[in-house]
Structure formats: C-alpha cells, structure tokens
Structure 1
C-alpha cells in the first residue's frame, strides 16, 4: 500500500458516500483500490471487485469480530458491476506506520506483536465460520489461475489453531497514543489457521515498513520463539499467493 497524493481523483461513488464531508486520501493498494478518511471520522474504501478478499466478506467478518475486540464499525457496504465499497467508523489512534511510529520502530513493532497475540487469544476458534487454512488458500489461489510450487502443497503440521487476521501487516494495526495496540483493520481474509501464518506475515512486514532487524523482535513480543520452518513456509505461501 502507498499513500496517494492529495490531488488524486476522487471517484464519484466516494463523493456520494461522503455526503458532503471533506475527504483526505489515506491509502492506495496494488489493484487500484482507494481509501479516504472523512472529517467526521469515517473511512471509505472503494476499488475494483476483488475475488481474493472482497469488501462484502470484510464487512461480515468485522461485524463478527466486533463481538470480542476493537475493529471498525460497519456503516455501509455495497457493489456494482465493476466496483465495491465499504464505509466504516474509525478506531481512535493511528496506523502503526504513521510517521510517529515509523520513527519509533521499537515501540511499534512490539505493539504489533502483542496486538497479534491478543487477537489470537481473544477470537474464538470454535465460533469462527471461516477458514484461512492452507487448503482454503491454495484453493483460492488456483481459482485465480495461480500455480503454486509443489512444496507449498505440503505444509508443516499446525502448531496452534487460531482465528487469523489474514493480513497481519503493520499498516493494519492501530496504535493508541501510548504505543499500545488499539485495534485491527482490513479483516477481509479473517479465518481459522495456524497462528504462524499470521506471525510470518506480520514479522516479514517489519522489513517493508521499518527496515531490517525487527522480525524477531515482533515474534518475541508475541511471546514465542521463532519457528524457522513454519516462518519460511508461510512467508513463501504469502508471497506466492
């Protein structure tokens, strides 16, 4: 994800959803999706229909997860023939990749690790109706005509089954003013899977956002020793899919 320029063209649908509120560009993803923040503390996500992780799924998962933890509230969700959109309330705080936290990686990285452990310990596996398991992810990839290496069809045994975030990268964690995890966003892929599927991605994302040297600090803050085999497998699966 990148931060779009302030003068980026605002889609007509986004203007309509804003209902007169001022809009500030927040994010642009790799498929042309845009996220804007309104001046009345809402976020508006808009983009092309996504077969991998659509906004209808995200709204459903946020409503479910909100029973146990702090996630954005769903205001409105919809789609047309080519695009989809999602309007949510904002979580108080800032993304873990806001300028303040980029300048304080030791604080941010450890908060992300602790926040991920909180998510895994809080969301009830037995009540989760979705999967983010290896078979489900492989099936999803193949439905999108992605041919995965044979080695990825043989995952390591599950260490601990949890409800995974599904995109546990640093930008999807909100930190409060004290540098503690305040909530999570972008839950379109949330589902049950091995906790290392999330840990692998979260720790790998520290390189993209804070530079080298922080992967194991995140894992330490999560509260486990690095499992190199599972980390390697789930990072490869993420990169391939």
Structure 2
C-alpha cells in the first residue's frame, strides 16, 4: 500500500502528530510489518512508524517492553500506539546514528565487533527481578511449535542451506536436544547488526526492534549475534566478539541451538 493511501487510515491523534511530515519506507528486514522513517518539517525530530494489519504481528508486547526498558537502556521512546480499522500503528523516537550493518572500506570491523559485544553485556546486565517479559525456552518452543503448525515458517529460507530440511525436522531436533539449563538474563531476542545503532566513533547509540525481547538464556543473543557478525563482518570477527563479551567458557552447543531455534521465527 502506498503511504498516501495509508495516511487516510491514520487515527486523528496520529495525523495531528505527523502533520506536514515526509515518509521514507524502510525495507531492511524480513517482516511483513510496514516501517517508515518519518522526517519532520525541518528535517529534524525524525521518528519511525510501524504499521501492521490484523493478520500480522501486533505491537502490544514491544510497546510494553520498551516502556519497561526506557531509562535502563538507550531504546526508542513510545510516542503513539493505536488502531484504526484493520491497521495498528506504532510511532517511536529515532535513535541517531547508523545501524552497524552499514559497512564500507573505511569501517573498522574489529571496533564494530567489540562495540557489539560491549552493547550486549550492557543489555544482559539489566536486573531482571521485576521483569515480567517471558522469553524462556519453554515459551519460545511453544511459539516455534505454533509457527510450524500454522505454516508461518519461511521454508524457502531454511531450505537455502539444506534442501532436505523442514520446519518439522527442525522442531523435533530442538525438542530432542533441548539444553538442560538456562542462563537467564534480559535479552534483545534479535541481536543482529541492523538492530544495533552506532555513532561515528563506534559507540553504542541504542538498540531497536524489541519485539522478541525479554528474559531468556543469554545464548539467544550470543547465537544471533555470532550469525549476524559472520554474515556482515566476516567469520574472523566472531572470536573478537566472543572474547570481548567475556565468557569464561563458551558453550558452542548452546550457540548452535539458539541459531537453529531462530529458523522457526
């Protein structure tokens, strides 16, 4: 849908908030959610707008989690959340900087990998005593099972690495090889490079896209982080990331497990 058509569906309050703004569609990522960069009248005060129809994800969980995290971590502020007809709208503030997947010949990949590790340690250090956002393995496996049963897994994507694999086979393997324990921390849930914003000096500006965040095993983030670093920075940067993160002992079996689990999301 074109943005001009979508604007006609905006609730009154959202129209007033965004009057006179321009829109740039953000096509990074694989979600069916529509994402727009909203550019303010003077080119400043930029924001981001997520739009979903009823058949796709809803934003209630992410909105509530961001409100809980705000003040604990550098994350977007929730500016508006509401519905109109078949659409749900979620407006948030912009985290200034560039996402860490933007690589060119001048990028210091070692500094990026180390910044990602330091950022992850910051997330994992947030106290979880009063955090009610459950992303435990029990919960994630139930969601994975639902996704498989309802044909919500991108089979073409998972078959790109193994033409004989199926979502059902992955789910059985995950259930059979389930880890015996969880090292629970606050996790981002999708700790890949496009979701980590850096400033020009390779410092963390903030973390975006928290729809799968919550209390989970730290290897959820470490696994997705390793996979994303390998893809964007090169495999040789993975040890740099892990060393900077500072685990006394690296559980590669858990890293592989959570990477495989992510195939069903």
Residue of structure 2 aligned with 1:66, choices 48, 59, 70:
70
Q: Pick the structure with greater CA Rg.
A: 2
Q: TM-score w.r.t. structure 1 length?
A: 0.85
Question: Secondary structure of 1:132's partner?
Answer: coil
1:188 counterpart residue number:
211
What displacement does 1:93 show? 1.9
2:26 counterpart residue number:
26
Summarize deviations over 1:182-239 as a string: whole Å, max 9, x none: 2111111111111011100111111332333222222222112432111111111111
1:5 counterpart residue number:
none
Calculate the aligned-residue CA RMSD, in Å.
2.5
Cα distance in structure 2, aligned partners of 1:215 and 1:85: 37
2:46 counterpart residue number:
41
Instruction: Determine if the alignment matches structure 1 residue 152 to structure 2 residue 174.
Output: yes
Pick which of 158-167 and 209-218 moved more.
209-218
Instruction: Determine if the alignment matches structure 1 residue 84 to structure 2 residue 88.
Output: yes
Instruction: Determine if the alignment matches structure 1 residue 126 to structure 2 residue 150.
Output: no
1:237 counterpart residue number:
261
Question: Secondary structure of 1:214's partner?
Answer: helix
1:94 counterpart residue number:
98
Pick which of 197-206 and 15-24 moved more.
15-24
> Contact (CA 8 Å) 2:52, 2:58: kept in 1 or not?
no
Summarize deviations over 1:109-131 as a string: whole Å, max 9, x none: 2211110111101x221111011
What displacement does 1:22 show? 1.6
Pick which of 225-234 and 125-134 moved more.
225-234
Gaps of 5+ in 2: 40-44, 151-167
Distance 1:49 1:115, change over 3 A: farther
Cα distance in structure 2, aligned partners of 1:101 and 1:20: 37
Q: TM-score w.r.t. structure 2 length?
A: 0.78
Instruction: Determine if the alignment matches structure 1 residue 166 to structure 2 residue 189.
Output: yes
What displacement does 1:150 show? 2.3
Aligned residues: 232
What displacement does 1:14 show? 5.0
Written as runs of structure 1 = structure 2, the 5 A alignment for 1:102-117 is 103-117=107-121
2:155 counterpart residue number:
none
